[in-house]
Amino acid sequence: LPILRNIRVLVLNYTGLKWTQVELLKDRLPSIEELHLMGNEISEITPTSSKFVEGFSTLRVLNLEENQLSEWGEIVKLSELTSLEQLHLNRNNLSQVFYPTSDSTVISFT
């Protein structure tokens, strides 16, 4: 795939993409700031290179509304996206929200 240097906003709603396909975009969209992936039935966030999603260094907005995410552990995999300011998760099936702390305890919001 060619590198699309000037693309800042990409909308791929209701396209049937899986996260493995999304990962292929990270090196091809070096300036991406908003990525909209609404309604793609994404149920797992499966990073290709480690246990956390890496790359997407300019991504500020990630829209994962209306997918099939049900485990908060999948969302934690996005914690290495250091520029991320907005994460949209409406209409997923999340039953629990937690955040692991540095001393191995877990803060849970259920």
**Tens digits of per-residue pLDDT, 33-51?**
999 999 999 999 998 888 8
| Distance from chain centroid for Cα 4 | 20
pTM of full prediction above 0.85: yes
52-92 pLDDT per residue, tens: 898 899 999 999 999 999 999 999 999 999 999 999 999 99
Asked if residues 68 and 38 have their Cβ atoms less than 8 Å apart, the reply is no
Give φ, ψ of 98 to 5 degrees.
-145, 160
pLDDT of residue 55: 87
- Asked if the model's pLDDT at residue 29 lies above 90, the reply is yes
**pLDDT range class, residue 97, cuts 50, 70, 90:** confident
pLDDT of residue 2: 79
